[in-house]
């Protein structure tokens, strides 16, 4: 019975520490100047949260997004360029982390796919319209409506 009580107490205390750690990570970022803040927000809006697939790094409230924002700020302060920071994150998380992947041989379908689908749809519509036979008009009986 004591063992069970000790185990429950241990589990309950772990969740308290986890919440405290998460709240500590949620403190707002401190920027040195307005230029650093502008650059950070521009970069964070171009990067995708690796957990929340439809949100940018700037918009996400996930814990990993908070940690990645801190890491991006540290990389900026280390003197890395935006391209170097993006390359670093791509190496860690893959091309998925970029909202606008680079145009390469393996991403051509991603960039050209929507245009190809639009052209194919337009071709189908044109083919259907051309196949349609015009309907014969009823004979004019001389009456006005």
Q: What is the pLDDT of residues 32-79, one digit of tens each?
A: 889 889 999 999 988 988 888 788 888 888 898 899 999 999 999 999
119 — pLDDT class (breaks 50, 70, 90): very high
Residues 77 and 112 in one domain: no
Give the CATH number, domain containing residue 93: 1.10.8.640
Q: Tell me whether residue 53 is in a domain.
A: yes
Q: What is the pLDDT of residue 6?
A: 62
Residues 22 and 71 in one domain: yes
Q: What is the pLDDT of residue 11?
A: 72
Higher pLDDT, residue 118 or 133? 118
Q: Count the domains in the chain.
A: 2
Count of C-beta atoms within a 10 Å radius of residue 59? 13
| Domain enclosing residue 110, as ranges | 104-130
Residues 41 and 95 in one domain: yes
Phi/psi at 74 (5° precision): -65, -40
Question: How far is it, in rounded angstroms, from Cα 123 to Cα 129?
Answer: 10
């Amino acid at each position: 019975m004591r063992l069970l009580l000790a185990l429950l107490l241990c589990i309950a205390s772990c969740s308290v520490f986890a919440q405290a750690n998460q709240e500590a990570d949620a403190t707002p970022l401190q920027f040195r100047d307005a230029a650093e803040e502008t650059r950070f927000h521009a970069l964070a809006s171009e990067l995708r949260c690796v957990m929340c697939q439809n949100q940018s790094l700037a918009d996400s409230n996930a814990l990993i997004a908070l940690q990645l924002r801190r890491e991006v700020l540290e990389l900026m302060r280390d003197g890395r360029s935006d391209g170097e920071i993006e390359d670093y994150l791509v190496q860690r998380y893959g091309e998925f982390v970029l909202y606008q992947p680079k145009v390469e041989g393996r991403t051509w379908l991603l960039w050209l796919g929507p245009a190809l689908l639009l052209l194919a749809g337009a071709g189908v519509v044109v083919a259907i319209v051309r196949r349609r036979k015009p309907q014969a008009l009823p004979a004019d009986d001389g009456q006005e409506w």
